[in-house]
Chains A and B, each alone.
Chain A
Amino acid sequence: MVDLLLQKFSEVSFLSGMPSALLFVLAATLIALPLFMFVAVNALVAVYAERKISAFMQDRLGPMGQGVGLHAGKWGLLQTVADAIKLLIKEDIIPALADRKLFILAPFILFVGAFIVFVGIPFNQHILVADFNIGVFYIIAMSSIGVIGIIMAGYSSNNKWSLYGAMRSAAQIISYEIPLALSLITVIMLVGSLKMQDIIIAQHGLIWGILPNWFIFNNPFTFIAFFIFFISGVAEVNRTPFDLPEAESELVAGFHTEYSGMRWAFFFLAEYANMFIVAAMTSIIFLGGWQSPIPGFLNGPGWGLFWFFSKAGFLIFVMMWFRWTFPRLRTDQLMQMCWKYFLPFSLINLLGVGLWDLWLN
């Protein structure tokens, strides 16, 4: 997309005289800005949805307002906006004994780690910033940058709770990356490409005449891989039942105990961005991305956007459902689940998919 913009720039007369480096920065900014807006709006919507969904699950009403004066809009629609404004104008507190540089840097690293992943995510047939030939690898690699931010936050806060949260988080994210990547490989073996669009296009058509040819239905091994991928993804983004790094009842607030105001908001933005990434990745790789459930039916670019967002939205809803239903696992149980169950299963899966592909196709 950057190349496309640069090409467009070269056709405009008053821009052609500018140095190419400047033009590149301009093009990149023009693309990054809508993405940033998307991440911010995603967080606003997701927070509102989370509050309302949790409220309905808990027999409450959630944020409500009558739309007058300082109330938070009809049905509390403006609640998250009010929250965002509150966070913006809050006092910026940095603990006296904190490592200032790292403390300030940590939320940004976490956020950037989440943000640059969006570069590789196809929203529909055309909206995709860059279709790398290593698309899947890029996303896996970039999404683990966030853990550095978490460790920095935990270490620099000079707080025992933060440190515990950071250590738990590091162990958890690194561990769950393995079954996550292994279950991705099962799909990559079938597609033969790491490009995101190729993976989606490979899921076109019907299987057994009724089901869409998504990888979740492709064969029994990818069916299992879907669940391993999604659960590992939930663990990656530290959501309940895997929210040990920020376990409220144990670690107060985990790695972001000492953060407040806008810095804290960046952790929050990153969390919801990560949630969206996991949901988006799952829907792209296993649920056909922007493909319509009925091939050839409502398959335009606009509908592509619709299908993609409804699949991702549903998976985000499932994550929220988890959060408001399940208790939390313990650290050792979490690790046990990863190393004793997920890892062997995904290795068997890998073998199974290989044999399936070899003999049946």
Chain B
Amino acid sequence: MGIETLTLDRSAIQGEEMVLNIGPQHPSTHGVLRLQVVTDGEIVTKITPYIGYLHRCFEKHCENVTYEQVIPFVDRCDYIASMNNNFGYAVAMEELMGIEVSEKVHYIRVIVAELNRIASHLLAIGTFGLDVGAFTPFLYCFRDRERILDLFELLCGARLLYNYIWVGGVSHDFPIGFVEKVYEFLDYFEPKIQEYNDLLTFNKIFIERTADVGVLPADVAISYGVSGPNLRGSGVKWDLRKNEPYSIYNKFDFDIPIGTGAMGTVGGCWDRYYVRIRELEESVKITRQALDQIPREGDVHAALPKKIRPPKGHVYSRTETPRGDLGFYIISDGKPKPFRLKLRSPAFTALSCINEIARGWMIADVIAILGSLDIVLGEIDR
């Protein structure tokens, strides 16, 4: 008997690989995303995300409407953080047209953008908890997010798609008593962060499930163009509000939380999650400062021209949304409609690295990693 016959034939004990479609209809794909997963038992060997189920021709649409009419479309890209999208577009347009908006407008924009950041992070935290099986934190987050949506409803009548921040201003001033209501909300909300920590963040099972899972090293994150909390979770201190301050963010005192690997490897799901929790605190801090400093007088429409007709040229401007660097590239040919408008989506880049970081983990981990990246399909598909 030769040695060959004694060696174990691996092909005999190794099972077939199975192709599994997670989505487009699946409870935890955060929208209509299809992940084609090749599995070896429970282990995932390859992940291919298929996108486009929510493609609404955003960029092509924008070429056919006037600059003002683009704003509602922008709302519908990242529908979880519409204010921030409005903000990004307004900043880009103002840069293209060379408009300077009044002090008050800046403050209003910062306040609503930070409130929306809190709302968006609450959704991310809640659904991430849901992805790892904890149901209750999700409803706690929604309870508090509800209050922000109520505030926005008071502000502009809409709860999700606001169309509030316009080019050269905002659609209208704060209603009477709004500032006090926001103060009230912040006082209510700040202690609640501790509640999430008690319930989810420092839960042993939660840490076990997320701490070392789906590690996104800083160099991989940078080479994929990942930004926002996902990048900061990998330990890179990069936040456009600090690094390239737009609007009046340089007036405020706040920190950029980064992943420290407190519970495991730097860049794990837990770090990405915890960065969001700490950003809630920072957003509260910024909102408080803005509320303290906001000028009482001032017109919110002053800089708004009757008809927007930017000069010939192009602009690329980026702002920090809850998901990362949202970039607008706008080419103007001097007509009232954009010649070309391109949106650089932070969620798209976050999703693109999933095969890199989730390969080799189990199905349950893929769901957790996807949840920790906090994608919004509306923005990915556009």
**A179 → B minimal CB distance (Å):** 19
**B6 → A minimal CB distance (Å):** 30
Residue B224 CB within 8 A of the other chain: no
Contact code string A310-335 (vs B, CB < 8 Å = 1, else 0): 00000000000001111111111100
Chain A residue at smallest Cβ distance from B199: A325
Kindly list chain A residues whose C-beta atoms are within 8 Å of the C-beta of B130.
Answer: 249
Residue B251 CB within 8 A of the other chain: no
Chain B residue at smallest Cβ distance from A160: B20
Kindly list chain A residues whose C-beta atoms are within 8 Å of the C-beta of B134.
Answer: 325-328
Asked if A241 and B205 make an inter-chain contact with CB atoms under 8 angstroms apart, the answer reads: yes
Residue A59 CB within 8 A of the other chain: yes
Kindly list chain B residues whose C-beta atoms are within 8 Å of the C-beta of A324.
Answer: 135-136
**B65 → A minimal CB distance (Å):** 38
Q: Which of B20, B131, B364 is A331 in contact with, Cβ under 8 Å?
A: B364
Kindly list chain B residues whose C-beta atoms are within 8 Å of the C-beta of A243.
Answer: 133
Chain A residue at smallest Cβ distance from B206: A327
Asked if B367 and A329 make an inter-chain contact with CB atoms under 8 angstroms apart, the answer reads: no
Total number of residue pairs linking A and B with CB closer than 8 Å: 77
Chain A residues numbered 57-116 whose CB sits less than 8 Å from any CB in chain B: 57-60
Residue A357 CB within 8 A of the other chain: no
Asked if A328 and B133 make an inter-chain contact with CB atoms under 8 angstroms apart, the answer reads: yes
In whole angstroms, how far apart are the Cα atoms of A327 and B134 in the complex?
4
Interface residues on B, range: 20 to 34
Kindly list chain A residues whose C-beta atoms are within 8 Å of the C-beta of B364.
Answer: 244, 247, 250, 328, 330-331
Given A58-B135, A327-B209, A332-B362, verify A252-B140 contact (CB < 8 Å). Answer: no
Asked if B28 and A329 make an inter-chain contact with CB atoms under 8 angstroms apart, the answer reads: no
Residue B18 CB within 8 A of the other chain: yes
**B192 → A minimal CB distance (Å):** 11
Asked if B132 and A327 make an inter-chain contact with CB atoms under 8 angstroms apart, the answer reads: yes
Asked if B140 and A328 make an inter-chain contact with CB atoms under 8 angstroms apart, the answer reads: no
Asked if B28 and A327 make an inter-chain contact with CB atoms under 8 angstroms apart, the answer reads: no
Chain B residue at smallest Cβ distance from A332: B362
**B142 → A minimal CB distance (Å):** 9
Residue B208 CB within 8 A of the other chain: yes
Residue A276 CB within 8 A of the other chain: no
**A319 → B minimal CB distance (Å):** 14
In whole angstroms, how far apart are the Cα atoms of A328 and B130 in the complex?
9
Given A59-B139, A250-B367, A332-B362, verify A326-B205 contact (CB < 8 Å). Answer: yes
Residue B190 CB within 8 A of the other chain: no
Contact code string A233-249 (vs B, CB < 8 Å = 1, else 0): 00000001101100111
In whole angstroms, how far apart are the Cα atoms of A326 and B132 in the complex?
9
Chain A residue at smallest Cβ distance from B130: A249
9 closest cross-chain pairs (CB), A and B? A328-B133, A327-B134, A249-B28, A58-B139, A327-B132, A327-B133, A327-B206, A249-B131, A327-B205
Which residues of A are interface residues toward B (Cβ below 8 A)? 54, 57-60, 160, 164, 240-241, 243-244, 247-252, 323-333
